[in-house]
């Protein structure tokens, strides 16, 4: 599978149905010797000023946490306590 096949997919957490982001907006951690994806690194959605002031958090999801890759979505299963709240304002 190529990254271009994944980039427009929405990442959804199975345990609570929460949208975590788009694969295309994420970074990937790749094993350079095998070319396999190890982790998906999702940047926190924050306001302009937080990013501008250097404040940023990320959510790292192990490739092993991916349960299903569908036509439009990538389903992961992580504890909701393990990631940041996108609804903070």
Give the span between the Cα atoms of 50 and 44, in whole angstroms: 10
Assess if residue 74 is contained within a domain.
Answer: yes
pLDDT of residue 44: 74
> CA nearest 80: which of 23, 11, 18, 25?
18
Range of the domain at 26: 3-82
- Whether residue 88 is contained in a domain is answered as no
Strands 73-76 and 10-13: parallel
87 found inside a domain: no
Asked, for residue 89, whether it belongs to a domain, the answer is no
Say what the pTM is: 0.73
Residue 26 falls within a domain, yes or no? Answer: yes
Q: How many domains does the chain have?
A: 1
Query: Is residue 36 domain-resident?
Result: yes
Instruction: Please give the DSSP secondary-structure letter assigned to residue 71.
Output: S
Read off the pLDDT of residues 58-84 as tens digits, 9 standing for 90 and up.
888 999 999 999 999 999 999 866 555
Residue 44's CB is within 10 A of a number of other CB atoms, namely 17
Query: Going by C-beta distance under 8 Å and a sequence separation of 6 or more, which residues neighbour residue 21?
Result: 10, 11, 42, 43, 45
Give the CATH number for residue 59. Answer: 2.30.30.240
Domain presence at residue 33: yes
């Amino acid at each position: 599978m190529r990254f271009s096949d994944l980039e427009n997919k929405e990442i959804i957490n199975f345990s609570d149905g929460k949208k975590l982001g788009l694969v295309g907006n994420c970074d990937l951690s790749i094993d350079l010797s095998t070319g396999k994806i190890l982790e998906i690194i999702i940047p926190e959605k924050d306001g302009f000023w937080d990013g501008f002031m250097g404040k940023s958090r990320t959510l790292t999801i192990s490739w092993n946490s991916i349960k299903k890759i569908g036509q439009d979505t990538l389903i992961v299963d992580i504890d909701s306590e393990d990631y940041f709240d996108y609804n903070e304002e």
